[in-house]
């Protein structure tokens, strides 16, 4: 879906007063192409996506006999095993919703788990299929939280914290998978590289913790930020917003031991999804490579997060099937497992997510006829007041 910009999107255009530079002129259709603004990044993205899909189709045609074997396996999938995979996938989404809800509640926010789960499922569907869906889903999630009385800075801080915890949990899962893998087994070099990367990441986290606790680093950072914002006019607004986000993030202070609970939720999100992959293999009557399943799963999720194609179509299937073949599965088994896992973890969630998106949108429209603001009450039993602004977080209905 294209998003109009400027006046076409209904946005007010600033008048230019004396002493200001004139507004940038929009080139007409009669001007040469060199004078028009370039849009090559968007075309480059689509070109890359089409190229990847074309390569996937070519690979499928050249491996028709393996696809035939995969289709035979899919035709004889076990119902109980498939149900277990679906249950683990549902539990994974519940863990993700519980993580974001816990972070909100620790800062004083109030939001039901059902509502948070609906927002998470809808945002997951947006991120999975739309071009630039990750950014759109984040913006939509923030907007939904705002309409439920959560301040912009607090919503941003919660999503950032949830993203950091999820990234660390996935890194831990991959590191555990590398430790569990057989040193003398398949792809020992990959295992060594993953362990080295985990050691570098652990050192970087330790350094970041030391810097955060250093008063000298805080003073240097404040001086540098003041210098930048004093010479960059737009940076002042950004500085105010980031200061507000940081202030709201500091309200999420469960203590060192308290962080174990949200980290456990983030780890549960990935673990249940990895268990869904193992259940898919079981449903296809394929032996699960237990010592390497975490490496296969973690590296597949990293490739999916790159979003090189809409929904990582072709990328996810190729990555998962290739890694499964590397760690001992036959090609037809790997293809069948990759396709069924994507059906469970991606395609099944798309209609559910868009149904949730439509339900939340229609409820929002009915609750706010003819208005553009939130219907929530101002005030309530608690209120969060920003240090650098006047954001108030009313209680959710």
35 located within any domain: no
Question: Is residue 378 in a domain?
Answer: no
Phi-psi region of 312 (alpha: psi -120 to 50; beta: other; left: phi over 0): left
Question: Which residue, among 129, 127, 157, 128, has the nearest Cα to 142 in the 3D structure?
Answer: 157
Mind spelling out the 3-state secondary structure of the chain? Answer: CCCCCHHHHCCCCCCCCCCCCCCCCCCCCCCCHHHCCCCHHHHHHHHHHHHHHHHHHHHHHHCHHHHHHHHHHHHCCCHHHHHHHHHHHHHHHHHHHHHHHHHHHHCCCCCCHHHHHHHHHHHHHHHHHCCCHHHHHHHHHHHHHHHCCCCHHHHHHHHHHHHHHHHHHHHHHHHHHHHHCCCCCCCHHHHHHHHHHHHHHHHHHHHHHHHHCCHHHHHHHHHHHHHHHHHCHHHHHHHHHHHHHHHHHHCCCCHHHHCHHHHHHHHHHHHHHHHHHHHHHHHCCCCCCCCCHHHHHHHHHHHHHCCCCHHHCCHHHHHHHHHHHHCCCCHHHHHHHHHHHHHHHHHCHHHHHHHHHHHHHHHHHHHCCCCCCCCCCCCCCCCCCCCCCCCCCCCCC
Let me know the angle formed at the C-alpha of 297 by 293 and 299, rounded to the nearest 5 degrees.
Answer: 120
CA distances from 353 to 93, 129, 315 (A): 11, 11, 21
Domain count, the chain: 1
| Domain carrying residue 81 | 64-366
Q: Is residue 174 part of a domain?
A: yes
Residue whose structure tokens are 């109009």? 4
Torsion on CA atoms 133, 57, 275, 331, rounded to nearest 10? -160
Residue-by-residue pLDDT tens, the chain, 397 positions = 444 444 444 333 333 444 444 444 444 444 444 444 444 455 665 666 677 667 666 665 655 566 777 888 999 999 999 999 999 999 999 999 999 999 988 877 788 899 999 999 999 999 888 877 788 899 999 999 988 888 888 888 888 889 989 999 999 999 999 999 888 888 888 888 888 988 888 888 788 767 766 777 767 777 776 776 666 665 666 666 666 666 555 556 555 667 889 999 999 999 999 999 999 999 999 999 999 999 999 999 999 988 877 788 888 998 999 999 999 999 999 999 999 999 999 999 999 999 999 999 887 655 554 443 333 333 333 333 333 333 333 333 3
- How far does Cα 312 stand from its chain's mean position? 13
- How many Cβ atoms sit within 10 Å of the Cβ of residue 351? 10
In a domain, 114, yes or no: yes
Residue 59 lies in a domain: no
pLDDT at 288: 93
User: What pLDDT score does 61 carry?
Assistant: 62
pLDDT of 98? 95
Separation of alpha carbons 262 and 101, rounded Å: 10
Q: What is the pLDDT of residue 241?
A: 61
Examine residue 390 and state whether it is found in any structural domain, yes or no: no
pLDDT at 49: 63
Confirm whether 350 is domain-assigned: yes
Dist. CA 357–CA 397, nearest whole Å? 19
Q: Is residue 241 part of a domain?
A: yes
């Amino acid at each position: 879906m294209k998003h109009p910009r400027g006046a076409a999107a209904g946005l007010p255009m600033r008048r230019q007063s004396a002493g200001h530079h004139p507004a940038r002129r929009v080139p007409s259709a009669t001007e040469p192409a060199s004078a028009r603004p370039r849009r090559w990044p968007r075309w480059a993205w689509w070109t890359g996506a089409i190229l990847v899909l074309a390569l996937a189709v070519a690979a499928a045609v050249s491996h028709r006999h393996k696809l035939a074997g995969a289709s035979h396996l899919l035709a004889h999938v076990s119902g109980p095993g498939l149900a277990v995979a679906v249950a683990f996938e549902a539990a994974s989404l519940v863990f993700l919703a519980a993580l974001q809800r816990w972070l909100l509640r620790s800062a004083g926010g109030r939001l039901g788990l059902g509502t948070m789960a609906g927002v998470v499922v809808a945002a997951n569907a947006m991120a999975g299929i739309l071009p630039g869906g990750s950014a759109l889903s984040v913006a939509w999630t923030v907007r939904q939280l705002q309409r439920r009385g959560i301040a912009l800075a607090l919503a941003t801080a919660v999503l950032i914290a949830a993203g950091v915890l999820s990234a660390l949990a996935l890194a831990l899962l991959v590191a555990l998978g590398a430790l569990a893998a057989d040193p003398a087994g398949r792809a020992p070099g990959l295992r060594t590289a993953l362990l080295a990367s985990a050691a570098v990441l652990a050192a970087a986290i330790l350094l970041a913790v030391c810097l955060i606790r250093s008063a000298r680093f805080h003073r240097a950072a404040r001086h540098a930020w003041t210098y930048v914002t004093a010479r960059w006019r737009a940076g002042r607004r950004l500085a105010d917003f980031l200061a507000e986000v940081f202030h709201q993030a500091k309200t999420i202070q469960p203590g060192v031991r308290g962080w174990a609970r949200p980290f456990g939720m983030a780890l549960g999100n990935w673990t249940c999804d990895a268990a869904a992959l193992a259940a898919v293999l079981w449903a296809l009557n394929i032996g699960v490579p237990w010592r390497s399943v975490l490496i296969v799963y973690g590296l597949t999720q990293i490739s999916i997060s790159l979003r090189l194609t809409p929904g990582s179509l072709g990328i996810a299937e190729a990555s998962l099937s290739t890694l499964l073949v590397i760690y001992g599965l036959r090609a037809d088994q790997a293809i069948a497992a990759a396709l069924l896992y994507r059906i469970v973890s991606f395609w099944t969630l798309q209609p559910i997510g868009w149904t949730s998106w439509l339900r939340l949108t229609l409820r929002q429209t009915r609750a706010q006829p003819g208005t553009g603001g939130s219907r929530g009450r101002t005030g309530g039993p608690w209120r969060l007041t920003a240090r650098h602004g006047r954001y108030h977080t009313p209680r959710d209905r």
